[in-house]
Amino acid sequence: MEPLEHPNQPETAISLSGINLWFENFHALKDIEFEVKTGEIVVVCGPSGSGKSTMVRCINHLEQYQQGQVEIFGRSLANKKVASQIIRQDVGMVFQHFHLFPHLSILQNCTLGLIHIKGMEQSQADHKAKILLERVGVADLADKYPGQISGGQKQRVAIARALVMDPKILLLDEPTSALDPEMIKEVLDVMVDLAESGMTMVCVTHEIGFARKVADTVVFMADGCIVETGPAQQVLGSPQWDRTQDFLAHVVVNSPATQNKI
Amino acid sequence: MEITSSSQQKNTGWSWHNPTLRGWFYQSFTIITVLFLVYYLGSNMIENLRLMGLPFGFDFLTSTASFDIGWTIIDYRPDMNYWRVYLVGISNTLILSFLIIVFATVLGFLMGVVRLSKHPLVAILARAYIEIFRNIPLLIQIIFWFVVVFLELPKPKNSFTLGESVFLNNRGLYTPELLTNSPVLMVLLLTVAVWLLYWLLPSRLKPQQSQLKSPSEPEAKSQAVLATTGLKWLGYGLMLYVVFLIFSDDFSWQNPQRGRFNIEGGLFLPAAFCAALIAMTVYRSVTIAEMVRAGILSVDQGQKNAAQAIGFTRWQTLKLILIPQSARSIIPPLINAWLTIVKESSLAVAIGFPELVSLFMQTSLNQTGRAIEVVMMVMAFYVVTSLLISGLMNQLNKRMQIKER
Amino acid sequence: MTQSSKQTQLKIFLPITARPPPGVADTWLARLRQQYFSSALSAALTVATLFLFYLLISPLVDWAIIKAVWSAADRRECYSISPDGACWAGIVHWFNNIIYGRYPDLEQWRINLVFIALVAWAWPIFVSRFPHKTLVFLSLWFIFPLFASYLLLGGTHNIVSQIFFAVACAMVIIIVACLVWLLLGRGLNPSHSSLMRLRLPALGLTVLAFACQYYLVLVPVETTRWGGLFLTLVIASVAIMMALPIGILLALGRRSSLPVIKYLSITFIELVRSVPLITVLFMAVTMLPFFMPNSVELDKLAQVLVAVSLFSGAYMAENVRGGLQAIAQGQTEAAQSLGMNYWQTMLFIVLPQALRLMIPNIVTSFISTLKDTTLVSIIGLFDILLMAKNMALDKKWLDLHTEPLVLIATIFFVLCYGMSQYSLHLERKLQWSH
C-alpha cells in the first residue's frame, strides 16, 4: 500500500505536558507527560478507569483538561480558535461505538465533511470517498445505511470516514471492544494496513496481539497515571513495574481475541 | 399438586369458570346495557323534542340566518342560510388554526434552540419564558391580550400607523389588500397540494435519480412510475401557470384609508383575531420548544463527539446531524400539537371571534334551538379533522423510519 | 521464563495521590468573566439579555409596586391618587369574592374547614414514616367527598350521609392525632395489630360525631352561589378524582380481548380526544337536558362535573395505557400461573405497579385539568376567571381589567408551577426507589 505522504512534518506529532483533569472532584488524569513522534504507532492500554480514553480524548479536545499543555506538530492548542483549526486539519478519530450518522447513507457519511468543511464539489467528494471505502473493503456498501450493516463493517466505514479528511494523526478509542469476536479480525487488518503505510496512530485497545505486531511504543496507564512507557517488545515482554505485569498476565490469559493469530 | 391440576383442567361446560362463556356474558351484558341506555335516552329525547315542537332533522340548515358576522374570508350576507354559517365558521376556524400552526412552529423551533444555549443569562430568560407561558391557563392569556393590550390601543382617530398604509387601533389591524380577479391564490394552493402529495408518496414509485443504483433493488411497476412522473410534471406545469398569472393579470393593492369615523378599505384583522393569534401562538410555542429541545437532547451524545472529531462547528452539527435525527422524534408530537391547536382555536369564542363554536354552537343554536343537530355537526368537523391529521402523522411516520435491516 | 527472578526486578507502582481540583477560577471577577464574557458573542448576549430584563421588568415593577395604590374607596379615587399605578385597592375589596365566590360570608368557615381537613387527610400520603398509606388514600377517595359535600351543601341529609360524615370526622381526628404523635417524635407501628387497636376509639369517635352533627344545623348553600377559587378547586378535584377510575376502566377495556368492550372503549376514547373541551361543555349544558325526562332538573354544576370528568377520564386512559404497557407481560403471566383470575391480577399485581409509574403523569394531568377549569367561565359558572372578569362590571371598579387578571394569573402560576416542580421531584424519587 502506498505510504501516506506528509513530507516536512516536525518530528514530534503530539506532546502532552503536565496534563491534569478533574471530573467534578475526581482527579482523573494526574500529571500526564506523553509524546508521540511523527509516524509512530502508540498503543495505550490499562484497566478500566485508568484514564486511557480520557487522555486520548484530550488530544482532540473532546475532554476539557484543567491544567497542562497539548501541542500538535509543535503548535500549542492553548487558543481555542487556533486549536479547533489545527484539530480539524490534522487529527481524526475512530470511536468504540462507531457513531456513524444513521440518517445518511455510508457514502454520505463520508462525503458530509468533505462537502461542508473542505468545500468540495459533490462529484469530487463522492470520488474520494469511494476510493477510501474501497481501501477499507466496504465499497459495495456505499448506498446502504448504518442500520443495515454489521459491526465490523460499521467500524471500517468509520475509519474510512476519518481518513477521508486527510488527517495526519489518527486516534482510535477501543475500536474493537464493541465488536463480536468474528468481526475483530477484519478491523484489525485495516488498522495494521494503516499502520504499515506510515500514519501516526494512537490506539487505546486491549488487543495485545495487534500491539505486538505493529506498535512502536506501548503506554500502560493505571489510576490516572502513566505507569510505564517504552518500546512495545520491552513493555509487553519484560515490563518493569508490578502493575504492568499483573495487567498483562490477566489480559493475555483472558482475552480470546489475542488468540487470533494476526 | 392441586394448583397445577386445577389450572390445567379444561374449563368447559356451563360453568362460571369457563373463560369463553364468561367473555360472552360480559359482552352481552355490555351490549344490553348500552342498548338500554340508548333506548332510555332516545325516548326521552323524542318526548322532549315533541313537547318543544322541534322535530329532529337538518332542514333548518336551509332557513335564513339573518344575523351579521363581523369577519369572514368567504362571502357571507345575512340573507344566506345556516349551512353557509357553518361553512363560514369552519373557514374562520381553519384560517386561524393555520396561522397559529405556522407561527407557533417557527417560534417554537427558535425557542427550542435558544433553550439549548449554555450562556447562563440566556438560559434563565428562556426558562422564564417557558414557565410563565406554560403555567398560566390559555384562556386567561387570550383574555389578557384582548382586554389589556388590544382594547387599550388608541381609537381609530389616533391609530398607530406605518406610512399611512398600515393602521393599528383598538378595533384591529388594517393592512393593504391584494385585489385580483385571477385565481392565482387557488392555483398556488393547488400547486402546494400537488407537491405535498408527490413528496408523501413512497420513493419506490418514483423514477430513480441516484447514479449509484444497487442491483438488488428492483424497479417498481412501470405504470406506477409513469403516474408519479405525470404528477411531477403537473406540479411543474402549475408552477409555470402561477408565474404566468402573476405577470399577466390585473392586480391592484387597496390601501386602507382614514374615513370619517373609522378606517375604511384594505384587509381588516379584528382585534379578537389578532389577540387570539398572538396568545395561542405564544402558548403553543412553549410546548413545541420543549419538544424540539427534548428531541435534540435525545440524540446520542456520541454523534456530537463524532461530529466534533470530524471538525464540524456547533452550528453545522446542529443543522446537519442533530436536527435531522431528532426530526424523527419531534415530528409525531409536533403533529399532535398541530391537532391541539385546531381544537384550542375554539377558545377564541371567549373574546367574540366568529369561529365555528361561536357562530354555530352559540348563535345558531340559540336562534334555532336545534341543540342535537348543531352539536352533531360541530363535533363532526372536529372528529374529521382529527382523523385527517392523525392519518397524516401515520403516513409521515412510515416514511421517516430509519432504514433497518 | 524465570518468573521469580523477574519478579525481584519489578518496581512497585504507587499511583500519584489524587489532589483536589483547582479552585473554580480564582477570584469572583475571573469567574464572572468566564461565565458571562468568555467570547465576543457571549459578552454581546450578556449585555442584550440584561437590557431586555431591564426593559421588561422595570415598567412592571413601576406599575405593580412603586406607583401602586393599596387602599382607596373606588376606582376614581385610585386614578386620582396615581393614574399610572396598579389599583390593588379593588383587589383588596373583592378578594373575598375571588376566593369564595358568592358563598355567604358567615358560612365561609365551612370551606376553610373542608380545606384544612383535606390537607390533614392527604398529608400522611406524603410523609414517609406514616404506615397504611393505601388505607388513607382509599378513604380519602371514597369518604372525604361525602364529608365535603355534607359540609359545603348544608341543609338536611339522609341517614346514610350522616353516618358517613360521622365516620369521616372520626378519621380526620385519628389522622391528626397520629400526625401529632409523629411530630412529637414517637414512631407509628405499621403492623396490622396496632391498626386493629384503633377500632374501639374509632367507633367511639364516630358515635360521638354522629350525636354532635344531629344537633348541628347547617345553612343550605345552593351550588349557584359557589364560585371563585373555591369552585375552581372543587371542579378540578372532582374531575381528577373521577378521571382515575374512569381512565383505568377505559384503559383496561381498550386492552380487552372481548371485541365489543374493546371497540366501545376505543370509540369513546378517540371521540372524546378529538373534540375540544368547550364543545363538550356546551354539549353538556345544551344537549343533556334533552336526554333527561322532563321532570328532572339538572344542576348546572353537576352537568359540568360529569362532562369534565368524562373528558379527563379519556385522556387519563391513554396515560394508564402507557403505564400498563410498561409493566412487563411477565407479571400478568406470573400472576395467572399462580391461579389468579383477570380481576385479581389487575387489582393486586398490575395496577398498583402501573399506577406507581404513572404518578408523575397523574400530577401533570391534574395541572392540565386545573388550567382547563377556566373554560367553565364561558358557560357561565362563576369560577375564578369569571369572578375576575365581573369585577370590571362592578360600579365602583368599572373597567378594572388588568389587576384582577394579573392576580388570577399569579395564583394559577404559583399553583401549577409548584405542582410541576413537585412532579419532577417525584419522578426523581421514583427513579431511585427502583
Q: Domain residue spans in chain C? A: 54-103+382-434, 109-381
- What's the Rg (C-alpha) of chain A? 18
In which residue are the cell numbers 373574546 written? B351
Residues B236, B355, single domain; the answer is no
Sign (positive or negative) of CA dihedral A147, A148, A152, A156? negative
Residues B386, B375, single domain; the answer is yes
Residue pair A194/A209 in contact (Cβ under 8 Å)? The answer is: no
Contacts C7 to A, Cβ<8 Å: 242, 245
Tell me if A58 is assigned to some domain: yes
Contacts A93 to B, Cβ<8 Å: 306, 309
Nearest of B94, B102, B95, B90 to residue B284 by alpha carbon:
B102
What is the per-residue pLDDT across B55-68, written as a single tens digit (0 to 9) for each? 777 888 888 878 88
- Closest chain B residue to A165 measured between Cα atoms? B310
User: What's the gap between Cα B218 and its chain centre?
Assistant: 38
- What's the Rg (C-alpha) of chain C? 29
pLDDT at B1 exceeding the cut of 70: no
Q: Print the domain residue range for B190.
A: 182-206+220-242
Q: Which residues of A touch C (CB under 8 A)?
A: 20, 22, 24-27, 30-31, 66-67, 222-225, 227, 238-245
Contacts A165 to B, Cβ<8 Å: 310-311
The Cα–Cα gap between C61 and C54 comes to 10
CA distance A59 to chain C (A): 20
For chain A, which residues score pLDDT lower than 50? Answer: 1-4, 258-259, 261-262
Contact assignment for A240 to C12 by CB distance below 8 Å? no
Percent of chain B whose predicted confidence (pLDDT) is above 70: 86
Tell me if A81 is assigned to some domain: yes
Contacts A244 to C, Cβ<8 Å: 13
CB-side exposure of C430: number of CA atoms within 13 Å?
A: 15
Selected residues 176-235 of chain B with any CB under 8 Å from a CB in chain A = 210, 212, 214
Find which of C273, C279, C417 to mutate to test the B interface (most B CBs within 10 Å of its CB).
C279
Residues B271, B305, single domain; the answer is yes
The Cα–Cα gap between B237 and B229 comes to 12
What is the per-residue pLDDT across B262-313, written as a single tens digit (0 to 9) for each? 777 778 888 899 999 999 999 999 999 999 999 888 888 899 999 999 989 8
Tell me if A250 is assigned to some domain: yes
Residues with Cβ within 8 Å of B270's Cβ and at least 6 positions away in sequence, in order, are B70, B71, B171, B172, B353
Residue pair B160/B168 in contact (Cβ under 8 Å)? The answer is: yes
Confidence of residue B200 (pLDDT cuts 50, 70, 90): low
- Closest chain B residue to C379 measured between Cα atoms? B350
Contact assignment for C6 to A222 by CB distance below 8 Å? no
Q: Which long-range contacts does B365-374 make (Cβ < 8 Å, 24+ apart)?
A: B365/C282, B365/C286, B367/B65, B367/B67, B368/B60, B368/B63, B368/B82, B369/B52, B369/B54, B370/B54, B370/B60, B371/C286, B371/C287, B371/C290, B372/B45, B372/B56, B372/C287, B372/C290, B373/B56, B373/B57, B373/B58, B373/B60
In this complex, which of B311, B325, B328 lies closest to A113 when CB atoms are compared?
B311
Residues B151, B232, single domain; the answer is no
In this complex, which of B122, B148, B346 lies closest to C276 when CB atoms are compared?
B346
Find which of C4, C13, C17 to mutate to test the A interface (most A CBs within 10 Å of its CB).
C13
Give the ranges where B345-399 is alpha helix by DSSP (H): 356, 365-368, 371-399
How many domains does chain B contain in total? 2
Look at residue A56 in the predicted model and tell me its pLDDT.
93
For chain C, which residues score pLDDT lower than 70? Answer: 1-8, 23-26, 127-129, 131, 187-194, 328-329, 355, 431-434
- Closest chain B residue to C276 measured between Cα atoms? B343
Selected residues 353-382 of chain B with any CB under 8 Å from a CB in chain C = 357, 361-362, 365, 371-372, 375, 378-379, 382
Tell me if B138 is assigned to some domain: yes
The DSSP element (H or E) to which A201 belongs, if any, is strand A200-204
Q: How many CB atoms lie within 10 A of CB B26?
A: 14
Contacts A147 to B, Cβ<8 Å: 402-405
Tell me if B197 is assigned to some domain: yes
Look at residue C234 in the predicted model and tell me its pLDDT.
92
Contacts A30 to C, Cβ<8 Å: 15-16, 18-19
Contacts B212 to A, Cβ<8 Å: 107, 142-143
Contact assignment for B321 to A107 by CB distance below 8 Å? no
Find which of A225, A248, A252 to mutate to test the C interface (most C CBs within 10 Å of its CB).
A225
- Closest chain C residue to B24 measured between Cα atoms? C258
Task: Give the three cell numbers for residue A158.
Answer: 468509520
What is the per-residue pLDDT across B348-365, written as a single tens digit (0 to 9) for each? 999 999 999 999 888 888
Tell me if A109 is assigned to some domain: no
Contact assignment for C11 to A241 by CB distance below 8 Å? yes
Residue pair B174/B268 in contact (Cβ under 8 Å)? The answer is: yes
Find which of B208, B217, B299, B310 to mutate to test the A interface (most A CBs within 10 Å of its CB).
B310
The Cα–Cα gap between A81 and A79 comes to 6
The Cα–Cα gap between C63 and B347 comes to 29
* Average pLDDT, rounded, for chain B: 81
How many domains does chain A contain in total? 1
Q: Print the domain residue range for A49.
A: 12-97+162-259
Contacts B311 to A, Cβ<8 Å: 84, 87-89, 113, 117, 165
Tell me if B319 is assigned to some domain: yes
The terminus-to-terminus CA distance of chain B in angstroms comes to 47
- What's the Rg (C-alpha) of chain B? 28
What is the per-residue pLDDT across C88-147, written as a single tens digit (0 to 9) for each? 888 888 888 889 988 888 888 888 988 988 888 887 777 666 767 777 777 888 888 888
In this complex, which of B31, B48, B344 lies closest to C260 when CB atoms are compared?
B31
Contact assignment for C413 to B136 by CB distance below 8 Å? yes
Contacts B116 to C, Cβ<8 Å: none
A130 touches chain B (CB under 8 A): no
Find which of A19, A20, A32 to mutate to test the C interface (most C CBs within 10 Å of its CB).
A20
B311 touches chain A (CB under 8 A): yes
Specify the CATH number for the domain of residue A92. 3.40.50.300
Residues B231, B309, single domain; the answer is no
Chains touching chain C, criterion 3+ CB pairs below 8 Å: A, B
How does strand B160-162 pair with strand B257-258? Answer: unpaired
Tell me if B28 is assigned to some domain: no
Q: What are phi and psi of B222, to 5 degrees?
A: -65, -25
What is the per-residue pLDDT across C249-263, written as a single tens digit (0 to 9) for each? 998 888 887 888 888
Contact assignment for A93 to B404 by CB distance below 8 Å? no
CA distance C9 to chain B (A): 42
Length of chain B: 405
CA C312, C318, C324: angle at the middle one, nearest 5? 130
Look at residue B217 in the predicted model and tell me its pLDDT.
44
Selected residues 324-353 of chain C with any CB under 8 Å from a CB in chain B = 337-339
Tell me if A141 is assigned to some domain: no
Tell me if B376 is assigned to some domain: yes
The Cα–Cα gap between A95 and A159 comes to 9
CATH tag for C109-381 (out of 3.30.499.10, 3.40.50.150, 1.10.1740.10, 1.10.3720.10):
1.10.3720.10
The Cα–Cα gap between B173 and B273 comes to 9
Tell me if B202 is assigned to some domain: yes
Contacts C19 to A, Cβ<8 Å: 20, 27, 30
DSSP string over C347-411? IIIIHHHHHHHHHHHHHHHHHHHHHHGGGGGTTT--BHHHHHHHHTTSGGGTT--HHHHHHHHHH
- Closest chain B residue to A148 measured between Cα atoms? B405
Tell me if A205 is assigned to some domain: yes
Residue pair A73/A13 in contact (Cβ under 8 Å)? The answer is: yes
Residues B165, B278, single domain; the answer is yes
Selected residues 56-75 of chain A with any CB under 8 Å from a CB in chain B = 60-62
| Residues linked to residue B81 through DSSP beta bridges, in sequence order | B64
CA distance C302 to chain A (A): 53
In this complex, which of B300, B308, B405 lies closest to A147 when CB atoms are compared?
B405
CA distance B199 to chain A (A): 18
Contacts C334 to B, Cβ<8 Å: none
In this complex, which of C257, C270, C371 lies closest to B137 when CB atoms are compared?
C371
Task: Give the three cell numbers for residue C50.
Answer: 440584561
Residue pair B88/B387 in contact (Cβ under 8 Å)? The answer is: no
The Cα–Cα gap between B299 and A257 comes to 32
How does strand A12-23 pair with strand A67-72? Answer: antiparallel
The Cα–Cα gap between A79 and A63 comes to 15
C49 touches chain B (CB under 8 A): yes
Residues B86, B140, single domain; the answer is yes
CA distance A74 to chain C (A): 26
